[in-house]
Amino acid sequence: MKVLTLGCSFTAGAELDDFNLAWPNILANMSGLPVTNLAQFASSNTKMVRRAVENINTFDAFIIAWSHYARTEFADDQGVYDVWPARQTPEFKQSSHRYELIKYLTAYNNDNYYYRQYLIDIILLQNLFKQHNKKYIMLNSFGNDSKQAGRNQDLVNQIETEFYLGWPNDTMMEWTYGSPVGANGHFLEQGHEIVAGKIYEHIRHLSWVS
């Protein structure tokens, strides 16, 4: 069973001395499953949805480590991709109208709109995985304002929480609290071991491994 992990810097292994020490690789060693990690620094949830759709026929199981709900992917007519707010590529900064447009769209955003889009992304992917008979689990990398969940029960009620590790309050940051972190706040080797262990126990519960 081939597994794909998608996420942001907390899954890619930011601030680790060796990216091979990121939790997807630890999970592969624990489970004996082949795990491909396509997480990227500053990834948005919309990018994760796109990458999951692009790879739906290549992998048997998916682990989605959602990033902050307000991060959104943009692309221009030249095929240059960017994520805001998180990072700004030189190509977008050099094009003032593109840069100002995405800054405007996110600086004056409606938080509840972006939170609802995040919930919709969850529901769309879980339905996609079910349609294609793929195994999946989801989790949060860091704070996704769970207080907003109470205002969006119409969507929250559609989330299959059995496959969402820690929903709605727990995130990797809560699991790894007290473990060493880098200068930019990313947990280091010990934290990645904790996250891998949590995920391993969950996929064992779901019978991904015996």
pLDDT digits (tens, 9 = 90+) for 7-30: 999 999 999 999 999 999 999 999
Q: Where are the domains of the chain?
A: 3-70+111-205, 75-108
This prediction has a pTM of: 0.90
Residue-averaged pLDDT of the chain: 89
Secondary structure E strands in the chain:
3-6, 35-37, 61-66, 72-75, 81-84, 135-140
pLDDT digits (tens, 9 = 90+) for 106-129: 666 677 888 899 999 999 999 999
Superfamily of domain 3-70+111-205: SGNH hydrolase (3.40.50.1110)
Enumerate the β-bridge partners of residue 147. none
Quote the radius of gyration of the chain (alpha carbons, Å): 17
Tokens of 87: 């990072």
Please list, in sequence order, all residues whose beta carbon lies within 8 angstroms of the beta carbon of residue 89, skipping any fewer than 6 positions away: 80, 81, 82
C-beta separation of 69 from 43 below 8 A:
no
What φ, ψ does residue 11 adopt, rounded to 5°? Answer: -100, -30
